[in-house]
Amino acid sequence: MDEDVLELENRRRIYQLVSKFPGMYLREIEKKLGLAMGVLEYNISYLEKREILTVEREGNRKRYFVGDDISFGDKATIGILRQEIPRRIVLHLMLNPKASFQDVLAQFTISKSTLSFHMKKLTEANIVEGEKEGRSTFYHVIDVDNTARVILTYKASFLDSVVDRFAEVWGDMGK
């Protein structure tokens, strides 16, 4: 990378933040750095054009990553796991595989429709899979080892005590 690209303080701050917290949304970056939106958009555009930052679209929103340091699959997983409820669902399912919808619902203070929304998102992202048994659906994380690797590799970017506890339990399980 050409060092001149990061000679301006705002660009360097953006780069350092996205390096530390891959998959951040524009508004998250704005809040964390306290930059005016116009200044932020200009500098991010500059970094994108020079391929210092890459973008993954998620509907109408964009997630930012440093270059191609992270694989496409990991970017998608990080994108979803940066959201608190899906992250906690995945952590619960990793420690309690084959949990029913009702089992998962009992762990959270959210409505059935909110849980359904997040389960659908996790299923469509191929992170979680549901298997029908009679009238119940039981869920599990599809690739437990890879998902754990992503969580543990990027745990600092999630800023969540639940992730820290998961890392301890996962380590204690000899994984």
CATH code of residue 15: 1.10.10.10
Do 87 and 28 have their domain in common? no
In the listed set 18, 41, 69, which residue is the last one of a domain according to the structure? 69
Do 91 and 134 have their domain in common? yes
Do 154 and 101 have their domain in common? yes
In the listed set 69, 88, 118, which residue is the last one of a domain according to the structure? 69
Do 91 and 10 have their domain in common? no
Range of the domain at 50: 3-69
Do 65 and 78 have their domain in common? no
Q: What is the pLDDT of residue 43?
A: 93
Structure tokens at 10: 């705002």
What is the number of domains present in the chain?
Answer: 2
Contacts made by residues 163-166, CB under 8 angstroms, sequence distance 24+: 163/87, 163/91, 166/91, 166/94, 166/95
In the listed set 41, 69, 97, which residue is the last one of a domain according to the structure? 69
Q: How many CA atoms lie within 13 A of 38 on its CB side?
A: 0
Q: C-alpha angle with apex 73: 161 to 136, nearest 5 degrees? A: 70
Do 43 and 109 have their domain in common? no
The tens place of each residue's pLDDT in the chain, 175 residues long, gives 555 777 889 999 999 998 888 888 899 899 999 999 999 999 999 998 988 898 888 778 888 988 777 777 788 888 888 888 998 999 999 999 899 999 999 998 899 999 999 999 999 989 999 999 889 899 999 999 889 888 888 777 776 666 667 767 767 666 5
Q: What is the pLDDT of residue 21?
A: 85
pTM: 0.69
Q: What is the pLDDT of residue 82?
A: 82
Q: What is the pLDDT of residue 22?
A: 87
Do 124 and 83 have their domain in common? yes
